Structure 1
Amino acid sequence: MDFAYAGALNQAIRLLSLSHRGRAAELLAPLGLHPGQEALLLELDRSGPRIQAQLSEALGCEPPSITLMTRKLEAAGHIRRAAAPGDRRASVVELTDSGRALADQIKRLWVGLAEETVAGLSPETAAALPGILMTMVGNVNQAR
């Protein structure tokens, strides 16, 4: 691989990441959410109640980030936290009715964002993208 191609590839990935996160922030703001909080809500919607350490692992976030997000989402009424049975140091986090309704709204937003992101691509290319991108994520993580 030559430097010109490597530069173009790295720049495209960087710009896509920044643009996608910015667009996500625009879509989440009217819901009172910041990027990252939606992932926590969707994880709870998908998996049910989780211990904060499990959320940290599932989302690839540091525990202090999860603690901050859960505090904000709890204050907004979207989740509730309770001491974990058998371990009062751990907190079990679960969605409230408000959180479940918000997760449904996020799902609709995410469909729209995905459609915006792949607009103009062939259906075959769009279908292949998740696998390609996850392979790239694995490559970068393996190199760490």
Structure 2
Amino acid sequence: MDFEQADALNQAIRLLSLRHRARAAALLAPLGLHPGQEALLLELARTGPMIQAELSEALGCEPPSVTLMTRKLEAAGHVRRTPAPSDRRASVVELTDSGKALVGQIKRLWCALAGETVTGLPAQTVAELPRILRALAGNVDARARRPHGSGTV
């Protein structure tokens, strides 16, 4: 790939990421949430209670980030943390009734954001986007694990 093509691709991905996050922040702010917190709440809604370390893995976040998010969401009354029965050093995180109610609002906002993001694209392209974006994320993850200079660029 030549530089011009690489630059165009990297710039498009960067701009999409920045603008999507900014739009998500604007939509989440009236709910008292910051980007990332909605993903944590949605994950708990999908899976049920989880140990924080598992939640960190599921979200692809560093454990300290998940700890900070859970503390803030707990202070707001949206999640509850309790000691894990198998390991008192670990915390199990679960949604409260407030968190469950908030998940419904988040889902509506997420649908609106996705709709805004793909406006004007053909339905077939929209259907293929999750697979393509997961593949791109997987490529970046796989390359991040390789030492610099090994493999092709």
Shift of 1:86: 2.6
- Residues of 1 paired with 2:127 and 2:87: CA distance? 43
SS in 1 for 2:83: strand
Matched with 2:37 is 37
Matched with 1:105 is 105
Q: Which amino acid aligns with 2:44?
A: L
Unmatched runs of 5 consecutive residues or more in structure 1 = none
Shift of 1:118: 0.2
Q: Which amino acid aligns with 2:8?
A: A
Q: What percentage of aligned pairs have identical amino acids?
A: 75
Q: Which amino acid aligns with 1:74?
A: E
Query: What are the superposed Cα offsets for residues 10-62 of structure 1, whole Å, 9 maximum, x if unpaired?
Result: 00000000000000000000000000000000000000000000001000111
Matched with 1:94 is 94
Matched with 1:12 is 12
Matched with 1:142 is 142
Displaced runs of 4 or more, over 6 A: none
Q: Which amino acid aligns with 1:49?
A: P
Q: Which amino acid aligns with 1:130?
A: P
- Residues of 2 paired with 1:65 and 1:20: CA distance? 20
Query: What are the superposed Cα offsets for residues 92-115 of structure 1, whole Å, 9 maximum, x if unpaired?
Result: 110001000101110010000000
- Residues of 2 paired with 1:143 and 1:64: CA distance? 24
Matched with 1:120 is 120
User: Superposition RMSD on alpha carbons, in Å?
Assistant: 0.6
Matched with 1:48 is 48
SS in 2 for 1:70: helix
Q: Which amino acid aligns with 1:85?
A: P
Matched with 2:23 is 23
Matched with 2:151 is none
Matched with 1:3 is 3
The count of corresponding residues between Structure 1 and Structure 2 is 144
- Residues of 2 paired with 1:110 and 1:42: CA distance? 10
SS in 2 for 1:94: strand
SS in 2 for 1:81: strand
- Residues of 1 paired with 2:36 and 2:87: CA distance? 27
> Structure 2 length normalisation: TM-score?
0.93
